[in-house]
Every structure is written in structure tokens, then in C-alpha cells.
Amino acid sequence: MSSPDPGNIVAQIQSYVAGFSLPAAAIAVALYFSGIPVFVWRYYTAPSRWGLRILLAEVIFCSVRCAAFVCRCLLPQFQSFQLYQSFYALLMSGTASLLAVLAEVTIAWCHKVDDSVLAFSGRDGLGWSRTFLAFLGWVHVLAIVTVVTWAGYGAANAVLLINPYSAPEARASWRRPGYYLFEFGVWIGVMVVIVSGVVRLYTGGKGAVSSHKSMELDPHTRSSWVSHGSGDGTSSNGELAFAARSDAFFGKAKLLNKALYGLLVPCAILSLVRMAFAPFVVTEEQFGDIKVSEGLWYPVVVGSEIIFLIILALPHHLKFLEIEGLRLRPLQQRRTQ
């Protein structure tokens, strides 16, 4: 096979980027950049350890996307091959940071699930809590390593394979299985963590939910417990304490469910749509047509990411971060003489 002509390849790239829409890229920069002060302000009004981690992931994603679309804004004017490489390197690494945001929110949600279940179950739930938190810890480390590797892999492919001396099929290979193995692998991993959190929430709080439902069906139950709770009856006092714990857990569970169905599930669907667009919707031939690629690419890819950020920016979606943590230690056994 004859080696490609570098001059011809650069000319093709210059002709291609000359058709990029400057207004569309500029609007994308403005939209992504506007998310940074919104997320910073939200964290400032309700600071927390998990809120800081989510904020860092959000700011990194918005910053990388802004840099990518600034390059796209400059491409029609300068038509630089190096600028074209930089744009795709930033674009590919930015997708990894999008999944990093979803992963951080998911892991924070799971930690709050465990805090809520442990506050209800007390020391009886310490064993499951330690196992669940160990699982989350390993998943968190694995997610960070995978996302960083994925971002580097995407950027390296864009820089090394999109060059004047590579064959056309090599220049297209960055859009094929290796990159998407990282992409969908991380997404599936996040779904596994969400499912584990749901199982932990519903299995750990069965007693609380049933208790709350029984009190809703029988409004005299609570008044009966309260009226008898002031006496010496240990059973009544225990029932009253259990009712209070059940009510507290049920309130936290409602908050966590709102975050699950209003934040995690929609963001997971949007990220899946965004990832599946390039390999399954746009063909190689369509990708080379600037009208087709931009006409589909901006509404589906940029649109889904902006909706993702809007959902994250809604203040009530991160209310679950206000659930207080509870750390219990096992009771020490007295030494027998």
C-alpha cells in the first residue's frame, strides 16, 4: 500500500475545518463556561466533602469542554493541523471527565445510602456497612485510575493517529473499539454501583418502610405509643424509639429516591445517548460531511451534555448530600477474668 501524501492530507483537513460553524462553537463555549460559576456557587452555599469532589469533577469537565470548543472556534480562521489535533485530543479526554462526574455523584449517593441505613439499623448493620464501604472504596479507586487512563488514551489517539503520515484507516481508528471499550466499560461500572446502592437502600430499610406504612394505615398507633411511652413500659419505649428511627429513615429514603430517579437515572441515560451517538448513528461517510455531522452532532452530543449539566445544577437534586453521616464502632467485649 502506498504511503499517504502529507501535503494532500493537510489540505483535506484544512478544507474540512473551514466549514466548521463559528457561532455554534461559540455558543457551546458560553454554555459550558456558564456551568462553572453555577457549580462553584452551589458548593459555596452548601459545602461538604462529597460536594467538593463533585465540584472538582464538574469544573474539570466544563474547563476541558471550553478549551475544546475554543479550538473549534479558531479552526475555521487558522485552519491549523496542530489545532485540529488539539481539538480532538481535548474532545476525547473530555468525554472521560463527563463519566467521572456521574461516577462521583453515584458514589456520593451510595455513601449517603449507607449512612441512612446504618442510622436506622444501628450496630446490627455494621458488618454489611463495612463490606459495602470497602466495595465503594475499591470502586472509587478503580474508577479514578480507569478514567485517567481513558482520558490519556483518547488524547494520545487523537494526537498520534491523526497526523499527516498516517493511513486513512489509522486516522479513523480512534473512533473504534479500543476507545469505546473504556467508554462503555466505565458506564456499565457506574450502573453496577447504582444497582448496589438501590439494593442496600431497600434491603437495609425494610423494617422502617413497613413501620411507616403501618403508621400511615393506623393513625392511632403513634398516639398510642406516645401516650404509653412516658410510663415504665420498656416495650412501649422501644416501640417509640423504633418508630422515630423509622420515620427518620423514611424521610432520608424519600430524599435518596428523588436523587435516584431525578438525577442519577436521567444523567445515566443522557451519557449513554451521548456515547452511543458516534459509533452507532453517524457513519464514516456521514462524519466527513460537515452539514450532516454538525447538524446531528451539536443537538445530540452537545445538547445531551448541556441537559446533563442543567440537571446537575438544580439545587434540590443534591439535597441528599445534607444527610448526616453516622459512624458506629462495635461494642468491645469485656475480658473475662
Of the listed ranges 2-11, 275-284, 292-301, the one predicted with least confidence: 2-11
Grid cell locating 61: 469537565
Grid cell locating 265: 437515572
Kindly report the three-state secondary structure assignment for every residue of the chain.
CCCCCHHHHHHHHHHHHCCCCHHHHHHHHHHHHHHHHHHHHHHHHCCCHHHHHHHHHHHHHHHHHHHHHHHHHHHHHHCCHHHHHHHHHHHHHHHHHHHHHHHHHHHHHHHHHHHHHHHHHHHHHHHHHHHHHHHHHHHHHHHHHHHHHHHHHHHHHHHHHCCCCCCHHHHHHHHCHHHHHHHHHHHHHHHHHHHHHHHHHHHHCHHHHHHHHHHHHCCHHHHHHHHHHCCCCHHHHHHHHHHHHHHHHHHHHHHHHHHHHHHHHHHHHHHHHHHHHHHHCCCHHHHCCHHHHHHHHHHHHHHHHHHHHHHHHCHHHHHHHHCCCCCCCCCCCCCCC
Of the listed ranges 37-46, 62-71, 157-166, 178-187, the one predicted with least confidence: 157-166
For 70, residues 6+ apart whose C-beta sits below 8 A from its C-beta are: 29
Residue 270 included in any domain: yes
Q: What is the pLDDT of residue 239?
A: 63
Q: What is the pLDDT of residue 162?
A: 72
Is 63 in contact with 36 (CB distance < 8 Å)?
A: yes
| CATH of residue 52 | 1.20.1070
* Structural domain total, the chain: 1
| Parent domain of 59 | 6-322
Q: What is the pLDDT of residue 219?
A: 46
Residue 206 included in any domain: yes
Whole-angstrom distance, CA of residue 298 vs CA of residue 27:
10
Of the listed ranges 75-84, 158-167, 179-188, 260-269, the one predicted with least confidence: 158-167
Predicted confidence band at 129 (pLDDT cuts at 50, 70, 90)? confident
Question: Which tops the pLDDT comparison, 295 or 165?
Answer: 295
Residue 175 included in any domain: yes
Whole-angstrom distance, CA of residue 275 vs CA of residue 92:
11
Single-letter residue type at 144 = I
Residue 327 included in any domain: no
Quick one: average pLDDT of 268-294?
72
User: Cell 441528599 belongs to which residue?
Assistant: 320
Q: What is the pLDDT of residue 220?
A: 47
Q: What is the pLDDT of residue 283?
A: 58
> Which burial class, exposed, middle or buried, applies to 103 when counting CB atoms under 10 A from its CB (0-12, 13-18, 19+)?
buried
Residue 253 included in any domain: yes
pLDDT digits (tens, 9 = 90+) for 227-280: 444 444 445 555 666 666 777 788 888 999 999 999 999 999 999 998 887 666
Q: What is the pLDDT of residue 95?
A: 87
The predicted model scores a pTM of 0.83
* Residues shown for the chain: 337
Q: What is the pLDDT of residue 80?
A: 81
Residue 331 included in any domain: no
Q: What is the pLDDT of residue 204?
A: 76
Residue 277 included in any domain: yes
Residue 337 included in any domain: no
Whole-angstrom distance, CA of residue 118 vs CA of residue 150:
35
